[in-house]
Structure 1
Amino acid sequence: MKDKKNKVVCFGEVLWDIFPGEQKRVGGAPFNVAYHLSRMGVDVNMISSVGNDQLGRDLLQKIKSWNIPTDYIQINVGYPTSTVIASVDENNDAHYDIVENVAWDFIDITPENHEILNTTDAFVFGTLAARSEKTKNTLFELLEVGAYNVFDINLREPYYETSMIKDLLHKTHLAKFNKAELRMMLDFLGKEYTSEEDGIKFLQENFDLHEIIISKGSKGALYADKHDFYRYPTIPVTIKDTVGSGDSFLAGFLSKRLEKGSSVHETMIQAVSLGAFITSQEGACPEYSFEDFNRFKNQYQLSALD
């Protein structure tokens, strides 16, 4: 494992995914990002909440076993630890029944939250955490502190409103979409989809977005800053499941993006490679080391697409 350098805080849901016929798995999109950032050697913390129950204790113990700090995961005595009933369809795509009124719907703002964000390189959040008034208010307060706010759109019906997403985008420096979410966002805004480039430019201009990344599954990925577009192919792998693949893609991207001196090419190779590596394994947070990932990545020589 390389030395930990950069610091990232992920905000929102930590939970147990309950898959049919299996034991429960730790999940939640922002936690998945935190898990993979930790595996990439990034110093990561999670702001969330679990219940004062056995599921919560089990969850904290599991997270600690991965050497991820739990200092900023609150314990809520009034609401239970989150569980999600998950299923995987014939296309290996995951679907989720997300129980409401759980601990992470009620994340408190604390002086410690402010303090850690003052020394953090990136603040990662998604849409789902803003489904409740309490956690949404906490999130918006923390966005005023974050120096580099990273919005993983991650739409989960029916837990989002267009006005809320627009408000979040106005506080965002880097936004990540998958290809379906890009089209949905443009539709919400009354913008006809003509091309990725046109859609991305529209979002950049309307929300002053410095950076946008699009994960496109088998079609690869795209990164856009204020000046250029960069397209990269995917790595062909045998898909075990797609649970958490977008989260690992984002973690791979950030792990290089935050490294001083890293190029766009190195950053996108890291993102595409980690996304493919996790898709070839089972679950959102499989056990692996940085060395395991590097061996996988070094098998491939990816070049940018024209």
Structure 2
Amino acid sequence: MPADSITIFGEALFDCFADGSRILGGAPFNVAWHLQGLGAEPLFVSRIGRDSAGAELLAAMQTQGMRQNGVEIDAARPTGSVTVSIDNGQPSYHILAEQAYDYIAAPELPIGHESGLLYHGSLALRHGVSRATFEQIKPQWRGPVFFDVNLRAPWWNADDIHTWIADADWLKLNDEELALLLPEHQAIDSKLLLLQQRYDLQGVVVTRGEHGALALTAGGEFVEVKPAGSVTVVDTVGAGDAFAAVLLMGIARGWPLASALERAQDFASAIVGQRGATVSDPEFYRRFREAWH
């Protein structure tokens, strides 16, 4: 496995909107999709149903050029779906229980003693089966673990989140999630320092919407980035996932943190100008690949 390889573990689903449209989603899937578009060729590990939605998802992955050998097929449970409501550009989510991604099974996965980056969120670990699979994979891993917090009520509790932070090397979350996990009245930089020191993280990054992002390294260096100019917002679904994808590329390929954050912010700013979290137009990704080369 190449040194800059990235494995993504978690949910694949459809975001279903009030107008009847639906768009491929799930934070880990979004991250894997963007990485593929940007040329990183990740391994995406998930589980989908043997249904029309699952077939549509696999067809989209094939069109995008994504590997499918990490995606399991479940004959008993449906491909994941989420109802998304947009209010003033901000999404809210209704997430169903007992979806195929809750049952990712270790014996079926093409994973042994691996290196490279391992990315995961929190939603796919809500169920005991997928959680046990992840807990079986992680001790075998020889590379850094990147934990992307996704707090979706009612599918999380603080004790679990802090346990997964303790097992991570890199942590990403947004400012609202940071406030939920650390409700004390402290400045954001103080909270980042607390997390970094408590869990000995290589890096912790908080995204702040229109205000950009702030990161803290293990060496105690704060790095801040803000959007360049005005940003046209269609919706913010998946903006954090877009940011995470580029940040993962930066870590895997050894970019300076300031450059990784700036590129992640630029890419996330472009995503909020699109409907939904994923983009099917290869031209959208090509201009970023060329600029970063």
Q: TM-score, normalised by structure 1?
A: 0.88
2:247 maps to which of 248, 253, 257: 253
Match of 1:214 in 2: 206
Separation in structure 2 between the aligned mates of residue 285 and residue 17 of structure 1, nearest angstrom? 10
| 1:111-132 per-position Cα deviation (integer Å, ceiling 9, x unaligned) | 74432x614x211111101111
Structure-to-structure mapping, 1:2-41, within 5 angstroms: 6-41=4-39
Separation in structure 2 between the aligned mates of residue 18 and residue 286 of structure 1, nearest angstrom? 16
| Residues 210 and 226, structure 1, Cα contact 8 Å, conserved in 2 | yes
In the TM superposition, residue 85 of structure 1 has moved relative to its aligned partner by 1.3
**Amino acid in the other structure paired with 1:248:** A
1:275 maps to which of 245, 268, 272: 268
Q: In the alignment, is residue 196 of structure 1 matched against residue 188 of structure 2?
A: yes
1:93 maps to which of 90, 93, 96: 90
Match of 1:133 in 2: 128
Structure-to-structure mapping, 1:156-167, within 5 angstroms: 156-167=152-163
Match of 2:103 in 1: 106
The number of residue pairs the alignment matches comes to 287
| Residues 277 and 296, structure 1, Cα contact 8 Å, conserved in 2 | no
| 1:138-191 per-position Cα deviation (integer Å, ceiling 9, x unaligned) | 11222223311111101101101112112111110000010111111113xxxx
**Amino acid in the other structure paired with 2:246:** G
In the TM superposition, residue 269 of structure 1 has moved relative to its aligned partner by 1.4
In the TM superposition, residue 293 of structure 1 has moved relative to its aligned partner by 3.0
Separation in structure 2 between the aligned mates of residue 136 and residue 102 of structure 1, nearest angstrom? 14
Separation in structure 2 between the aligned mates of residue 277 and residue 294 of structure 1, nearest angstrom? 14
1:234 maps to which of 220, 227, 237: 227
For structure 2, the residue ranges without an aligned partner over 5 or more in a row are none
Among all aligned residue pairs of Structure 1 and Structure 2, give the percentage whose two residues are the same amino acid.
28
Separation in structure 2 between the aligned mates of residue 57 and residue 123 of structure 1, nearest angstrom? 26
Match of 1:157, SS? coil
Greater Cα offset, 53-62 or 4-13: 4-13
In the TM superposition, residue 47 of structure 1 has moved relative to its aligned partner by 0.6
| Residues 32 and 245, structure 2, Cα contact 8 Å, conserved in 1 | yes
Q: In the alignment, is residue 284 of structure 1 matched against residue 277 of structure 2?
A: yes
Match of 1:224 in 2: 216
Q: CA RMSD in A?
A: 1.9
**Amino acid in the other structure paired with 1:247:** D
In the TM superposition, residue 296 of structure 1 has moved relative to its aligned partner by 8.2
Q: TM-score, normalised by structure 2?
A: 0.92
